[in-house]
Amino acid sequence: MRQSQLFTKTRKEAPADEVAKNAQLLTRAGYVHKEMAGVYSFLPLGLRVLKKIEQVIREEMDKIGNEVLLPALSSADVWKQTGRFDTVDVLMRTVGANELSLAKSDASYVLNSTHEEIITPIAQESNGSYKDLPVAYYQIQTKFRNEARAKSGLLRGREFRMKDLYSFHRDENDLKEYYNNAKLSYQEVFKRLGLGEDTFITLASGGDFTTDFSHEFQTICEAGEDLIYLDRKNKIAYNKEVVTPENAEKLGVDFDSLEQVKACEVGNIFPLNTKFSKAFDYTYTDESGAQQPVFMGCYGIGPSRLMGVIVEKFADEAGLVWPEAIAPFQIHLLSLAGDNAEVAKEAEEIYKELVASGADVLFDDRDVRAGEKFADSDLIGIPKRFIVSEKSLAQGMVEVKERATGKVTMVSITDLRDSI
């Protein structure tokens, strides 16, 4: 893609109302645009990163479930059926905005904050026999939550992206087996996103689903809103919310001896057991023809929050730093041609060859000063920068700089062409 065609521009200053580092940098670099607190548009660069994060998640989830797309909007009835219409403290409702709209229909709807209420009846319709189970569905979709504080940029949206997976089982044992396998899939996702080392399975409250614990995936991050008690040796952590004398005894853990660190919850998996199947009267027929309750699990990951966490963790003074797996482009090609037509032509040719070879390149073909190109390139944070200038061209070279390490190497244009 040509930078001259990107419809966004970088900016030197972050908007005054953005306090979170991820929002400041992503806005300055032209990845996102704030619509209002907790609600962002994803611009071309930002959308590329988000899609890549979601693709990594999708590839791992395809191994353990079937992708679906559930509606963002639903009737209030299904939420009333589980009793959660009145109890989910972030649930949002929507109605016609004006008289004209209300005259057409005065119905009100729920903007889904999670999808147990939607998926359970769907699973029930098609999976009524022991032969149909286990089965698992997942989606990657937009969620709505009436969050109290939305000052953390992508870390806490009122509208945000979530991958949510739901699994249905014959009994608790089968659920447990699947649940443990899902943990491994989650670890693979975080590893591929470059967060493996710093992301820990964390025992947390089971919410109103289970008296058991749920498992969060917490990434160590200064900007995170959670405090975890970390046992590095055993690679397990405890959310502060479960650090009680009773749990110390139940788990045989001396919480006081553990390291306390700030972290951000990037994923959360719950054994739902029979909470939702009971609400929808979802049973299956076993081998003997008897009706049995279906056991469920749910498994969430936040792709847009992950994008924010990755910015918080890897960015430096000069700007964003993307891991290769999710960078918007792999190569940032800078043409420092100035008035030199020869350099401009060579850069143009290298760009075309890179594109033809299938490389992911952003080409800074703009007519701006070199200093501005360098600063923008640092801010945008693409892993590799190729610089074609009068000086490098005179030596038949291209300068290659790694964004993360700052390491510079000179590569001959012939070698570069061979490697394309």
Interface residues with ligand ATP (CB under 6 A) are: 114, 145, 147, 156-157, 160, 162, 265-268, 300-302, 304-305
What residue 56 binds from Mg ion, ligand ATP, none (CB within 5 to 8 A, per partner kind)?
Answer: none
Q: How far apart are CB 301 and ligand ATP at their closest, in Å?
A: 6
Q: How far apart are CB 300 and ligand ATP at their closest, in Å?
A: 3
Please give the size of the binding site for Mg ion, defined by CB under 5 A.
1
**Closest to ligand ATP by CB, 220 or 350:** 220
Q: How far apart are CB 144 and ligand ATP at their closest, in Å?
A: 9
The dihedral formed by the CA atoms of 14, 16, 20 and 26, expressed in degrees to the nearest 10: -30
For the chain, first and last CA: distance in Å?
17
**Closest to Mg ion by CB, 3 or 268:** 268
* Selected range binding Mg ion among 59-67, 268-276, 376-384, 402-410, rule: CB under 5 A: 268-276
Contact between 141 and Mg ion by CB under 5 A: the answer reads no
Q: How far apart are CB 326 and Mg ion at their closest, in Å?
A: 22
Contact between 114 and Mg ion by CB under 5 A: the answer reads no
Contact between 268 and Mg ion by CB under 5 A: the answer reads yes
Q: How far apart are CB 111 and ligand ATP at their closest, in Å?
A: 13
The dihedral formed by the CA atoms of 229, 316, 19 and 220, expressed in degrees to the nearest 10: -10
Q: How far apart are CB 64 and ligand ATP at their closest, in Å?
A: 17
**Closest to ligand ATP by CB, 61 or 380:** 61
**Closest to ligand ATP by CB, 91 or 337:** 91
Q: Measured at CB, which residue is nearest to ligand ATP?
A: 302
Q: How far apart are CB 350 and Mg ion at their closest, in Å?
A: 47
Q: How far apart are CB 50 and ligand ATP at their closest, in Å?
A: 12
**Closest to Mg ion by CB, 270 or 282:** 270
**Closest to Mg ion by CB, 219 or 268:** 268
**Closest to Mg ion by CB, 147 or 346:** 147
Q: How far apart are CB 268 and Mg ion at their closest, in Å?
A: 3
CA distance 174 to 133: 9
**Closest to ligand ATP by CB, 46 or 157:** 157
* Selected range binding Mg ion among 225-233, 266-274, 336-344, 353-361, rule: CB under 5 A: 266-274
Residues 11-40: x/- map of binding to Mg ion (CB under 5 A)? ------------------------------
What residue 302 binds from Mg ion, ligand ATP, none (CB within 5 to 8 A, per partner kind)?
Answer: ligand ATP
What residue 384 binds from ligand ATP, Mg ion, none (CB within 5 to 8 A, per partner kind)?
Answer: none
- Sorted by sequence, the CB contacts under 8 Å of residue 76 that are 6+ apart come out as 85, 93, 108, 109, 110
In 3D, which of 29, 73, 94, 20 has the Cα closest to residue 329?
Answer: 29
| Interacting residues toward Mg ion by CB under 5 A | 268
